[in-house]
Amino acid sequence: MHSGTTTTIQDPKNPEHVKTFTFDLAYWSHSGFQMDKDGVFISADPSGKFAGQRDVFRDLGGGILDSAWQGYNATLLAYGQTGSGKSYSMIGFGANKGLIPSVCEELFHAIENRERNQEYQVTFSMLEIYNEQVRDLLSRTKKPGGLKVREDQQLGFYVDGLKSVPCENYAQIERLMEQGTRIRTTASTNMNASSSRSHMVITIQFKQVFLDRELTKQSSINLVDLAGSERQKSSGSEGDRLREGSRVNLSLTNLGNVISALADAAMGKRVLHVPYRDSVLTKLLQSALGGNSRTTLIAAISPADICYEETLSTLRYAERAKKIRNKAVVNTSTLMRESRTENNKLLLGCGNSSMAGQPACLLAEHGLGPHADPMSWAHQLEQARKEWQQQYVAIARERQMTETLPHLLNVNEDPQLTGVLKYFIQPGSCDAGQATSNAITLHGLGISEKHASFTNLDGKVTVTPHSKCKVVVNGVPITTATKLQHLDRIILGSNSAYLYIGFPSERGSDDLSRFDYDFFQLERAAAEGVSVDKLGAVISGDGKADPSVLAVFQDYIKLMPLVAEANQMSEELGKGLKMELKVKNLALSDSRGYDLQKEVMVKVTNQRTHEVWIWSKAKFINRKFLMEELYQRFLDGEDSHVAQEDDPFWDPLEVIHLGSAHIWLQSLAYCMKLEEQVEFLNCDGLEEAVLHIHISPCSPTGQACGEEDVVIDPLELLGKRMDFQIRIVRCLGAKWLKEDAERGVQIGYRIYDLPNTLYTKPVWKTVNPQIEETVQFTALNASQEFLNYLQTNALIVDLWGLQEGCAERSCCEPDLMTTGEGHIMVDTKKISTVMDTGKSTSNQISELYLKLLKLEQETELLRNINRALREENVLLKASLEKTGSSQQAHKPSNTLKVTGMTEQLPAARDINQVCSQQASYDREFAKALKVFYQSMNMARGQFLRLRLYKPPEDDQMLRPFVHQQSQMLKDFGDLLESSLWKLKNDVTLIVKKKRECLLRVE
């Protein structure tokens, strides 16, 4: 943000791709700040660009209050992805108050300084919209199905039965916001939804009564914190037969449709229909979006590069909204009405990263009508005062208990909801659980009627789980009575997190903020043996871990509680599914063996039928939303039965990727046969099965090449025809087949530039399936790239698990180029280029080109043979001439002819002997190289196993693991040393013999 109005965004994957957006205001609040003595963030540099909460209120809050005093309706919307700072901007955190409390406080401050011949009426309401249901956050009673949204000819859409509380000062509004947050937290804990997926709406009805003029002005101030915008994308359901388009997403999706329609209308385009009625949110926002309201939109964005797509989407969304023009009018009770057109202000904010809370909420317009009876207002005020009196007594009692008793504080994913709920541990023993008869009534997924007992005796507090109920203390599950220490972390059920606050004598000036939701999950992961190091983070020279591994670790941490909740829902709904997180190492699919970016996936197993599915992160999150809807129906006592095709816990059976094996192709570049037994490694780096495979160079007719065909330098094969066969022999000891005898397997592989993967025929119900499939490949004109590939890459062979009823992988070979003998062609870039020029006669061209290519190759072979013969003739001729001239110098001239001829014959024999010995040495050298490359393949396999061999989670097994690892390293070193030693000796011997031979000739 280079100025107060522009925002520039750069694509991290394509730095040249830069976009600039212009808005009414642009704030930078990510860095460049410091904390003052009151705990408020201010700019570290007076000339810096950091904008704090006070700056935002000065620019926006003043405009909202001015509109309210003039009698205009005012609306403030906060839009953006989860974690971008919407809730921080709207509500704030700690001393850094957001817009909502600041606007309310300033409104009452202004009322106190106004003239006394006027009467001011302020009412406050607070609601939440989740899954198209409206919940009153000021009412302790939950209405099944939520409150209804109705329509009135004068008022428009309003929420029927929503509680509006008269307020006389800001302290009362503070109490109401705390009360609403408490109810919202309880609903979130009770498996409703995380706050980042709901909209929160605060509505302040402000009425001014001018007693001397018999005039009233009415203003409705709507302050809306929208749900995380990433929820409206369809990407969460990519590759899924079920669409997340459940009602969770409907509100934001439709809000975007409404804004687009209004923006088009503002640009002069013809718009037949604005879909206000398609969701609860847009019904309640109708006046704010396209009617009688001065509306401001805060678009909150994150500076993180991984949020680029979301940030760009938010900026485009805001750009469309900026085009909308509203017609706001003063709301008075007289016939004379002032009217003027107001432009929507558009604001862009970037939430403070250290304080950015989870967003959540939306707006509603309702309450006292413009002609409300003053007596009814006085009556409401009297009722409210009685309720306030009761609340003050309860608040004072809770404060006293907090100071004297040990207690539990809730910890929520949304920092705004953390520490809202307090559960006090009275002296003696008390039960905790879902049942209302318990001393501590807890709500949450996986919490039983009587879940655990807390005992407060002799200055000590212990917790004891009931039966098999899940209780985790400091990341470790417990089954017996456990003493609690001050600031211990407790997780009850699947994911209800609490911080234990000990006796007053144990407490100090503790910073509770560090024990946030992420702290709990990281501790839980560490106890389960999951860390950045375990995921294979590569530490760079600056001491920082690989960013891609850190991103995967964060995904793992975020998904851990979701998987625990999904398993609990499966258990309670009787689905019988067990879900577990896996980290897939994509290096398994890289033919060079490089460590590529990893990804998190979820393995789903039906414990009754042993059926298995693998879900991507996006698919699992999508399914989790749908599972929550089904579970909520179950909690509400509704029929939770759904047809199989609509059940988020079910999927059609699919082929499962079990593991991959690397077969290095270096020996093929030297025309040497390779026979290996290599491990299939699964995503955990453990052996899944053993593959027996042969890769053999051969003639065009399929006859195996002999040792005489071995080449010393792969460049000798450049431009020549190469034939080789890949033979999949068998698969041994597959765990997949041992777990269930009814299963099957298929093996697939793809070499070099083949467009398709080749699959073997499926084999069912055999633990050690015999495959016995051979495929011959041909490179008609071996290129430098292909030879390089053979020397540096491995053939990746994948093992696929089949389940009864799943679709098998196709064994046919479509769209593959073949030779006249029917062999599959590789290294076909040149051929493809020629073939692409005439698709209409592609078959004829292919045949003709192959024939021409074969003739050209044979001609080149003949040329090479002829060239070699000519060179040999020249060498022999030179040797003969040399021998003849030496004989001529020592013999009489009359015997020259006869003697010359008799002396040439031994010389020729010597040369032939040298040539034959030279060929023999080349063969010996090739054999030495073959042995060396075979031993290197074994060493490479051992090294790969060493890299993927993970330490055990059980500490007792660590010593055997270290011993085994040491032995493997020793074996690897011995193999490497002996291989190099043998090669060195063989080469030395060959060179020695060669020199002796040359000396004899000379």
Cβ-Cβ contacts under 8 Å for 936 (sequence gap 6 or more) = 666, 979
Distance from the first to the final alpha carbon of the chain? 83
Residue 744 labelled as part of a binding site: no
Q: In 3D, which of 376, 628, 630, 405 has the Cα closest to residue 503?
A: 405
Those residues with Cβ within 8 angstroms of residue 310's Cβ, 6 or more apart along the chain or in another chain: 81, 229, 230, 302
For residue 536, give the amino acid letter.
G
- Write the Ramachandran bin of 266: left for phi over 0, alpha for psi from -120 to 50, otherwise beta: alpha
Residues 6+ apart with CB under 8 A from 102: 53, 57, 61, 92
| β-pairing verdict for 687-698 and 722-732 | antiparallel
- Give the three-state DSSP class for 800: strand
Q: What are phi and psi of 75, to 5 degrees?
A: -135, 140
Phi, psi of 37 (to 5 degrees): -65, -20
For residues 358 and 83, the answer to whether their CB atoms sit within 8 Å is yes
Which SS3 state, helix, strand or coil, does residue 364 take? Answer: coil
Which two tokens mark 959?
């010593």
**Known binder of ligand: residue 81?**
yes
Both tokens assigned to 46: 């007076």
83 is in an annotated binding site: yes
121 marked as part of a ligand binding site: no
Are the C-beta atoms of residues 122 and 164 closer than 8 Å to each other? no
DSSP characters over 291-305: SSSEEEEEEE----G
3-state SS, residue 422: strand
Distance CA 35, CA 54 (A): 13
- What is the residue type of 558? K
659 annotated ligand-binding residue: no
Separation in Å, CA 542 to CA 538, 546, 680? 11, 11, 35
The pair of structure tokens assigned to 439 is 């001393």
Dihedral angle sign, alpha carbons of residues 486, 487, 491, 492 = positive
Report how far apart, in Å, the C-alpha atoms of 486 and of each of 407, 459, 627 are: 10, 12, 36
Q: Are 463 and 473 in contact (CB under 8 A)?
A: yes
DSSP assigned state of 760: P
Q: Could you tell me if 636 and 144 are in contact, meaning their C-beta atoms sit under 8 angstroms apart?
A: yes
Is the dihedral angle over the CA atoms 152, 156, 160, 166 positive or is it negative?
negative
Strands 496-501, 476-477: pairing kind: unpaired
Q: How far apart are CA 218 and CA 241, in angstroms?
A: 50
Query: Residue ranges for the binding site?
Result: 80-87
Query: Residue ranges for the binding site for ATP?
Result: 80-87
